[in-house]
Amino acid sequence: MEPKEEGLLLPREAARMLRICTRTLANWERRGLLVPVRLPTGHRRYRREEVETLLRGSSRKESFQT
C-alpha cells in the first residue's frame, strides 16, 4: 500500500464517513456526484473536503442513494 496522501481518503474511509457501502460510492462516482483522484497506480482516492461537503448536505445525500 502506498503512503497516505494528505487530505485524501481511501474508498473504504470515504464510504465509512458517508455511512454508505463502497458499492454505493462507486455508483456515485459513475453518476458524477463524487470525483476521485486517480493515483499513477490507478487506485482511487477521495478528497476529504468533498466528502465533508456531502456530509454537510446530508438531506441531499439521502437522494443520492441507489
List the CATH number of the domain containing 16.
Answer: 1.10.1660.10
What is the predicted pLDDT for the residue at 57?
A: 86
Domain count, the chain: 1
- Is 42 a domain residue? yes
Report pLDDT digits (tens) over 8-48. 999 999 999 999 999 999 999 999 999 999 999 999 999 99
Asked if residues 2 and 39 have their Cβ atoms less than 8 Å apart, the reply is yes
What global pTM score does this model have? Answer: 0.75
- Is 45 a domain residue? yes
Asked if residues 8 and 45 have their Cβ atoms less than 8 Å apart, the reply is yes
5 pLDDT higher than 70: no
- Is 24 a domain residue? yes
Residue 6: which pLDDT band, with cuts at 50, 70 and 90? Answer: confident
Host domain of residue 29: 8-61
- Is 2 a domain residue? no
